[in-house]
Chain A
Amino acid sequence: MSLLANRRGWLRAGLASAGALVLGACDKITSDPRSIAFLQSAEGLTRRAQRLVVDRKALAREFTHADISPDFRPNGSIDPTDADYVALKTKGFSDYRLVIDGLVERPLSLSLEDLRQQPSRTQITRHDCVEGWSSIGKWTGARLGPLLDQAGLKKTARYIVFHCGDTLEQTLDGSGQYYESIDLIDAYHPQTILAYAMNDSVLPVSHGAPLRLRVERQLGYKQAKYIMRIEAVEDYRHLGRGNGGFWEDRGYEWYAGI
């Protein structure tokens, strides 16, 4: 009797430890940075494959007014508490200046009124969050391409970096500041705009006031909000933790087309 119970106990313990061993081994593999680095090799393949099949000027689908989401979800920072940002917000962004510098011939400093005078575009597009949901909104903003031409990109410029006014994660080294980067293909795409209006109203704080990026054809985390400064760079490795964006520094793909 006790032998039987014992045997059953052994069996149960054996199965449990075998299970734990398998799960433990799996966890060891899945949390090993080397396996993640190996898996990430597919990202380059994805980016190149998409660049190959998607024409660089192909437009993201545009929708009608009837399609606009009544419940467009704000994500990430929705009300930044950074002192500089709060100071700007308190004065209704009247002191706001967008700086465009870095590898440009003529650095720019533009007020919101200046931005509204720029060649603009209005588009009703679908915003796809990396989490899986989508919302449709109407955006009006200055086209990024003509602005970069005004500033005059130097030949060495390869990426456009967006420095944002919000700290999404409190860190000691300041790496919690939101930023993003895109390449020149996306920077000069006709639907790439610096939006100052959403659904025919002034861009709300929760969605990135006074200025946010719309780089359609990529996921939500690329759509940087609270843009303070745009910098043309040759490489983004010296910024943040070196991966080209806040979420990229936390394991997400730099190319967010999928």
Chain B
Amino acid sequence: MNRSRKILVYRHAAITRLTHWINVLALTLLLMSGLNIFGAHPALYWGQKATFAHPWVLIAAEQHGQHTVGFTQIGSMKFNTTGVLGYSGKVGEFEQVAFPSWATVPSYRDLADSRHWHFFFAWLFVINGLVYWLVGLASGHIRNDLLPNGHDIAPKNIWHEIAIHARLKFPKGEEARRYNVLQKTTYLGVVLVVLPLMVLTGLCMSPGFNAATPWLVDVFGGRQSARTIHFITAFAIVGFVLLHLFMVVASGTWNNIRSMITGRYAIVTDKPGAST
């Protein structure tokens, strides 16, 4: 007789949970202090040097007759972003600032302090990431849980996962014990590519570090390109987090949050004798 039962499986090791939440803290503060730092020179360029008259991204404010208008310029496109980008603040107290005060740490424009926040949490982020990598490699977490296996990368399986994800129907029962191929590739991409890219492009803005590894700056096409890629990658992480949060909610908010706190994830199984 088959009976479906809800069982709790141990899904996330303590080190995964710990490094996950430290990452949440570090990335949040890195983003918010980074947006404040950006405000000191709210323009982006490509190459080694700034071309002040021709930034490819510019967030600023300008006078339109009696009014000040905040604008965001990307390439040849220009948008009015008053209230959010370029010109924002409390009602009646708008000021020229790239990102609004609610998005930055500290809330007021302060390059010196935002750099202190940024570099402190950069260290926390790097140390946390190294711990995750070392433990993940030693314990087999990265190899066993994140590296797609032969079954995962079969085109039929990939197509199947895309199809059920698109309908927001997620793997159930035994299949939910492990990450599916979309989760694996996304997490692996974030852990091995996107987050390290953030650190490397950040280091490439350091004139001290540049002297040690000038070739690395060339890999990114120059210091200003590295700054640009740092900025783009930051928003790629924001995009990932938004998608991640959406998926958490869509596939069971409390079950997911519990699993990242206690490690236990509930699955519904109809396999007789499935152990708890």
A43, B41: Cα distance in complex, Å:
22
Interface flag for A216 (CB, 8 Å)? yes
Min CB distance B77 to A, Å, is 22
Q: Are B209 and A135 in contact (CB under 8 A)?
A: no
Q: Which of A192-211 contact B (CB under 8 A)?
A: none
A60, B40: Cα distance in complex, Å:
24
Q: Which of B52, B113, B211 contacts A36 (CB 8 A)?
A: B113
Q: Which of A50-100 contact B (CB under 8 A)?
A: 50, 53-55, 58-61, 63, 67, 69, 71, 73
Q: Are A39 and B50 in contact (CB under 8 A)?
A: no
Known: A54-B212, A73-B52, A253-B115. A23 touches B40 (CB 8 A): no
**Nearest CB in chain A to that of B42: its residue:** A132
A253, B117: Cα distance in complex, Å:
12
Known: A36-B116, A132-B38, A134-B224. A217 touches B211 (CB 8 A): yes
Q: Are A130 and B113 in contact (CB under 8 A)?
A: no
Q: Give the residue among A36, A38, A219 with the most B Cβ atoms within 10 A.
A: A36
Interface flag for A113 (CB, 8 Å)? no
Min CB distance A190 to B, Å, is 12
CB 8 Å contact bits of B110-123 with A (1 = contact, 0 = none)? 11110111011011
A126, B227: Cα distance in complex, Å:
15
Of the listed stretches B4-12, B101-109, B148-156, name the one at the interface; the rest are far from the partner chain: B101-109
Q: Are B53 and A58 in contact (CB under 8 A)?
A: no
The total of Cβ contacts below 8 Å across the A-B interface reads 131
Q: Are B113 and A46 in contact (CB under 8 A)?
A: no
Q: Which of B108, B116, B208, B223 contacts A40 (CB 8 A)?
A: B116
Min CB distance B266 to A, Å, is 31
Q: Are A61 and B227 in contact (CB under 8 A)?
A: no
Q: Are B40 and A131 in contact (CB under 8 A)?
A: yes
Q: Which of B26-52 contact A (CB under 8 A)?
A: 37-38, 40-41, 43, 45, 48-52
Known: A54-B212, A128-B223, A253-B115. A134 touches B50 (CB 8 A): yes
Min CB distance B70 to A, Å, is 19
Q: Are A133 and B207 in contact (CB under 8 A)?
A: no
**Nearest CB in chain A to that of B116: its residue:** A39
Q: Give the residue among A43, A46, A136 with the most B Cβ atoms within 10 A.
A: A46
A46, B208: Cα distance in complex, Å:
10
**Nearest CB in chain A to that of B40: its residue:** A131
In the complex, what residues of B have CB within 8 A of residue A126's CB? Answer: 48-49, 207, 223
Known: A31-B106, A130-B111. A71 touches B37 (CB 8 A): no
Min CB distance B102 to A, Å, is 7
Interface flag for A250 (CB, 8 Å)? yes
Known: A40-B116, A61-B217. A133 touches B102 (CB 8 A): no
A30, B212: Cα distance in complex, Å:
33
In the complex, what residues of A have CB within 8 A of residue B205's CB? Answer: 128, 132, 258
7 residue pairs bridging A and B, Cβ less than 8 Å apart: A27-B106, A30-B105, A30-B106, A42-B123, A73-B50, A128-B205, A133-B41
Q: Could you list 5 further interchain pairs (A-B, Cβ under 8 angstroms) beyond the known A55-B211, A134-B223, A257-B208? A: A26-B105, A131-B111, A132-B205, A132-B227, A258-B119
Q: Which 6 A-B pairs have the closest CB atoms?
A: A257-B208, A251-B112, A30-B106, A258-B206, A133-B50, A132-B41
